[in-house]
Chains A and B, each alone.
Chain A
Amino acid sequence: MSPISRGFLGRRRRADGDPSRVPPGQYVTDDFPVLSAGPTPHTPLDEWSFTIDGAVKESVSWRWEEFLGLPAAQVTVDIHCVTKWSKLDTSWRGVSLDTLLETVETEAEYLTAWCDGDYTTNLALEDVLDGNAWVAYESEGGPVHPEHGGPARLLVPHLYFWTSAKWIRGLTLTPTDELGFWETYGYHNHGDPWLEQRYQGD
């Protein structure tokens, strides 16, 4: 049992929205904090492409304009960062991973999302299919700001936000689960905020 912190009251009476939407250990913020391990990359759109490769019969690649031509979805979701903040009702526009992965033939069960700036994160296919993940290029009705992962970022709102990789450029399908950047540095290999899977062993 946790010791009582003498004199600590907490801010729980703050209007934190619907408490059923805030996972354990999280607090709601209206800001949009930035967490990145290195400098923000600035890839010009005419050099941008998105590629699906790895354990696929034939890899596929889109340039920026082609990517914008793919069937897009508008979603409003809550996001949860492992550093404890949650942001409710964020709106995004992008291409669902169902749409993207329909274009390749694979028997792989995992993927590594890779990005400008050398960031990676690993995900199980079951976590990104069935309307669970998007590659988003619009946020709150405008382009995704570079600090927040633009021109395009992964959006996997049901997992901690480090899996929503910024500056995404592709997906590599893998037969086995291969740890990504933060997963290598001790963060949980799944990252379900409702189970508070922050670090290894949680």
Chain B
Amino acid sequence: MARAALPGRLGWQRGRVVDTIEETRRAKSLVLDLPNWPGHRAGQHVDIRLTAEDGYQAQRGYSIASAPEDDRLILTVDRLEGGEVSPYLTDVIEPGDELELRGPVGGYFVWDASLSGPLLLISGGSGIVPLRAMLRHWAAARPPVEVRVLHSARTLDDVIYRDELMRRAAFDEVDVRIALTRAWPDGWRGHRGRIDRDYLNGAAWPPRHQPRIYVCGPTAFVEAAATALVDNGQRPETIKTERFGPTGG
């Protein structure tokens, strides 16, 4: 039976870890040298494959944290306790080690600087990773598009890319608003508590501004935020979501 013809093949390629960056107690970025990387769009991910000495293999997907314009591909991995792959990537792998991956994968949850409308990025925890690729892409391309980041973390120490976010916020490049759900430093002026319907009603642009909305985080976070946005009148087709569940790692 004739099937629609499709081009291309997403083959496995080898890269080398050239640097690691401790982002938080749980999250680590891997900076990779990939001689055959074909380029990517902000928001895409890769599949990683690990191989044990006896040939056993495990695969998982990880979001790309770097912009298409960055020199190196960066992945940021959140360590899931009891996970099979993420603890290896956060605790064992070192600069100089080889890593096998293929990608980029996923073409829907992507943002491109040619797109119109204000850009609203909403993340919980390590959901910030693909949004950081978009943020860096925006900073490199400088389109006339307003950007706002609404990020939720347990504590300030759990905010991945905290320095980078604060720097962009301090220079008024980007409106960064951080919500802390568990504990707050003295004098914390950001939101205290979850990103909920009331908070989104005030923090999101009204629907008539036609924001492009990207929501990424744990399933419960994304379900709550996306549902609240729709209830607040945002059009569902303007909201792109990426969820990660309690499993994986």
CA distance A12 to B60 in the complex (A): 15
- Cross-interface CB contact of A39 among B60, B98, B236, cutoff 8 Å: B236
Q: Determine which residue in B8, B9, B246, B247 has the highest number of CB atoms from chain A within 10 A of its CB, and name it.
A: B247
Residues of B within 8 A of A184 (CB): 107
Q: Which residues of B contact A11 (CB under 8 A)?
A: 58, 84
Contacts of B10-43 to chain A: CB distance below 8 A? 10, 12, 14
CB of B84 within 8 A of CB of A27, answer yes
Nearest CB in chain A: distance from B54 CB, A: 9
* Given A2-B100, A178-B4: A117 in contact with B236 (beta carbons within 8 A): yes
| Chain A residue with the shortest CB-CB distance to B88 | A8
Q: In chain B, what residue has the closest Cβ to A7?
A: B92
Q: What A residues does B245 contact at CB under 8 A?
A: 31-34, 85
**A36 adjacent to B241 (CB under 8 Å):** yes
Assess whether B109 is in contact with A124, with CB atoms less than 8 Å apart. no
* Chain A residues in 8 Å Cβ range of B59: 25, 84
A25 proximity list for chain B (CB < 8 A): 49, 57, 59
Would you give the shortest CB distance from A182 to chain B, in whole angstroms? 8
- A201 pairs with B8, CB closer than 8 A: yes
Q: Is the CB of B1 within 8 A of A126?
A: yes
Q: Is the CB of B229 within 8 A of A39?
A: yes
Give the chain B neighbours of A31 by CB distance below 8 A.
245-247
Asked whether, in the complex, the Cβ of A200 is within 8 Å of the Cβ of B241, the reply is no
Known: A4-B51, A202-B9. A37 touches B241 (CB 8 A): yes
B219 close to chain A: CB less than 8 A: yes
In the complex the two chains form, is A38's CB within 8 Å of B241's CB?
Answer: yes
Determine whether the beta carbon of A85 is less than 8 Å from that of B247.
yes
Which one, B10, B50, B61, B227, contacts A8 given CB within 8 A? B50
Across the interface, A85 reaches (CB within 8 A) one of B8, B105, B248, namely B248
Residue A45 interfacial (CB < 8 Å):
no
Q: How far is the CB of A38 from chain B (nearest CB, A)?
A: 6
B interface SS class = mixed
> What string of 1s and 0s marks CB contacts (under 8 Å) between B103-146 and chain A?
00111110000000000000000000000000000000000000
Residues B247 and A34 in contact, CB atoms below 8 Å apart: no
Per-residue CB contact flags for chain A residues 128-154 toward chain B (1 = under 8 Å, else 0) read 000000000000000000010000000
Query: Is B8 a contact of A200 with CB atoms below 8 Å?
Result: yes
Known: A33-B219, A185-B106, A186-B105. A10 touches B100 (CB 8 A): no
B230 within 8 A of A: yes
- Taking the closest CB of chain B, its distance from the CB of A84, in whole angstroms, is 6
Specify which chain A residues have a CB less than 8 angstroms from the CB of B229 in the assembled complex.
39
State in angstroms the CA–CA spacing of A182 and B236 once bound together. 18
- Assess the A37–B4 pair: CB atoms within 8 A: no
Quick one: which of A1-52 are within 8 Å of B by CB? 2-12, 25, 27, 29, 31-41
Contact of B61 among A4, A84, A126, A176 (CB under 8 A): A84
Q: Is A190 an interface residue (CB 8 A)?
A: yes
Quick one: closest B residue to A13, CB to CB?
Answer: B56
CB distance from B179 to the nearest CB of A (A): 20
CB distance from B125 to the nearest CB of A (A): 15
Most central of B59, B60, B93, B246 by chain A CB within 10 Å: B59
Residues of A at the B interface (CB closer than 8 Å) are 2-12, 25, 27, 29, 31-41, 83-85, 109, 117-118, 124, 126, 147, 176-179, 181-186, 189-190, 198-202
Can you report 28 A-B residue pairs in the complex whose CB atoms are below 8 A from each other? A2-B57, A3-B51, A3-B98, A5-B51, A5-B100, A7-B88, A10-B50, A10-B57, A10-B84, A31-B246, A33-B243, A33-B246, A33-B248, A34-B243, A39-B230, A41-B236, A83-B61, A85-B245, A85-B248, A124-B3, A184-B107, A185-B106, A186-B106, A199-B10, A199-B102, A200-B9, A201-B6, A201-B9
Interchain residue pairs A-B with the least CB separation, the first 8: A201-B9, A33-B245, A185-B107, A39-B226, A5-B50, A11-B84, A2-B51, A29-B247
